[in-house]
């Protein structure tokens, strides 16, 4: 695994990951039904994006996304004191890496819109 990562190069991996995460943040920020839980510091942000769909339980979101082949986690992500301090029981968490593309982000966004519709929201 180390040889594989080194064959790609850490700088290239970081560049690709940053581009995809910035794109995902931009696209998710456009959706008024998505609540994002992010640091405002885009330069110091990881490839993990925590979010909720307003009015839809995070576990339902994760289950439905799974049916579309989109993998996210739901829960308190070993950060229960933090989630409780911001008034939440759980969130969804999407994680991106160098093998993800902007097309993956677009498919993810389309699935989120579909979930919103399936749950009776327009």
| Full DSSP string of 59-117 | HHHHHHHHHTT---EEE-TT-HHHHHHTT-S-EEEEE--TT--HHHHHHHHHHHHHHHH
Whole-angstrom distance, CA of residue 51 vs CA of residue 43: 19
Give the total residue count for the chain.
122
Annotated active-site residue 111? The verdict is no
Whole-Å CA distances, 78 to 25, 65, 110: 23, 21, 28
Name every residue whose Cβ is closer than 8 Å to that of residue 82 and which is 6 or more positions away in sequence.
none
Active site amino acids: 78
């Amino acid at each position: 695994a180390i040889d594989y990562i080194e064959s790609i190069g850490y700088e290239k991996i970081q560049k690709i990951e940053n581009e995809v995460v910035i794109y995902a943040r931009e696209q998710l920020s456009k959706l008024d039904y998505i609540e994002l839980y992010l640091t405002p510091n885009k330069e110091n942000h990881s490839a993990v994006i925590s979010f909720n769909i307003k009015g839809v339980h995070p576990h339902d979101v994760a289950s439905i996304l799974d049916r579309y082949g989109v993998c996210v986690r739901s829960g308190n992500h070993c950060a229960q004191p933090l989630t409780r301090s911001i008034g939440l029981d759980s969130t969804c968490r999407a994680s991106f890496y160098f093998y993800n593309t902007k097309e993956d982000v677009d498919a993810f966004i389309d699935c989120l819109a579909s979930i919103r519709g399936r749950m009776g929201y327009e």
